[in-house]
Amino acid sequence: MKIVSVILARGGSKGIPNKNIIDLNGEPMISYVIKSSSASKVHETWVSTDCSKIKKTSLSFGANVLDRPASIADDFSKSEDALLHFANNVQFDILVFIQPTSPLLLSSDIDKGLDMITNTDSVYDSIFSAYRDHWIPKWDSNINPHNWDINKRPMRQEKSYKFVENGAFYITKRNHLINSKLRYSGNIGISEMPNYRSFQVDTLDDLKLIGKLL
């Protein structure tokens, strides 16, 4: 069984220019997930990119690189388009899709998800990472309680928790990706990560916060 990872890292970030290779505590941000993938049970670590700078950086940290066509690397391109392009060019049985904006991801997180899908008694076809979200009172834009009664404020332990995708990684079997054209399908499982390592870099404030957590 061949297990590969792919990190989708296009070059056209608008919020933070060159976000995927921006300096984070002295290293390009993408290097953190490349290292975590390389130290995990993944057999090959790949980066899919349309950017020569990201390509050069990724190669320097030991990743393989697949050149991504510009037609599936603009602001409106779906990740699934790049995943299917990858599947058409690289052979694998199990794919770990990792996002470069999750530098707090550890190799042990990836391995935990892989164990869930590769164990001989596994019932899962896909796995995604998430954190546990306990109930807190939320209000809508009109300052009305959202799904709770202000006259009967519940206690946290009375409400069931939910899982929130943290976007760090998704794992799926090749045939399920190709047939569904989705990052997860079939029997889906959750690989839980702690909330404090579930932050993603979308803004410069995120970058500063994660820099302090690393």
pLDDT per residue of the chain (214 residues) written in tens, 0 to 9: 999 999 999 998 777 989 999 999 999 999 999 999 999 999 999 999 999 999 999 999 999 999 999 999 988 899 999 999 999 999 999 999 999 999 999 999 999 999 999 998 999 999 999 999 998 899 999 999 998 999 989 888 888 889 999 999 999 999 999 999 999 999 999 999 999 999 999 999 999 999 999 9
Structure tokens at 144: 């009305």
Looking at residue 145, what DSSP letter applies?
A: B
pTM as predicted: 0.92
153 catalytically annotated: yes
Check 153, 174, 183, 197 and give the catalytic one. Answer: 153
Taking each helix axis from N to C terminus, what angle separates 52-60 and 30-38, rounded to the nearest 10 degrees? 40
In sequence order, what E strands does the chain have? 3-8, 23-24, 27-28, 44-49, 64-67, 94-98, 126-133, 162-173, 188-192
pLDDT for the residue 191: 98
CA distance 135 to 14: 33
Q: Strand ranges (DSSP E) for 34-120? A: 44-49, 64-67, 94-98
Segment holding 83, helix H or strand E: helix 79-87
Identify the CA nearest to 185 among candidates 117, 112, 131: 117
- The residue type found at 97 is F
Helix (H, G, I), strand (E, B) or coil at 201: coil
Domain boundaries, the chain: 3-131+165-213
- Topology of 3-131+165-213 in CATH? Spore Coat Polysaccharide Biosynthesis Protein SpsA; Chain A (3.90.550)
Residue 77 is encoded by which pair of tokens?
């391109």
Alpha-carbon gap, residue 170 to 2, rounded angstroms? 16
48 SS3 class: strand
SS3 assignment, position 134:
coil
